[in-house]
Amino acid sequence: MTGLRDETLLLGMTEAVGEITGELQDALAIEGKWRAVGVVDLLHAATAIVHDAVVVHYDADFELLSELDGRLRQEWVVPKGSID
């Protein structure tokens, strides 16, 4: 039997991830939205940017981050608002 862990690609936390996390925080602060996105979502977004990955989500935080930083590729797992 194949488990989810067997099919999951783990992306590493690097110094570049930390730097981009700071850039994302700065972009939020400039817009007056420094508290709009939690640190875990910032780290996920920065990791995706570094590894050129797409964040598949059901969380408006990633849409906001994508609007602020065009390097972040994101996609709603289902249409926004469809399972609220």
CB 42 within 8 A of CB 35: no
The rounded mean pLDDT for the chain is: 93
Q: What is the DSSP string of the chain?
A: ---GGGG-PPPPP-HHHHHHHHHHHHHHHHTT-TTSS-HHHHHHHHHHHHTT-EEEES-HHHHHHHHH-TT-EEEESS-TTS--
Domains of the chain: 14-76 (3.40.50.1010)
**3, pLDDT greater than 80:** no
| pTM to 2 decimal places | 0.87
pLDDT digits (tens, 9 = 90+) for 29-61: 999 999 999 999 999 999 999 999 999 999 999
Question: Tokens standing for 42?
Answer: 């910032």
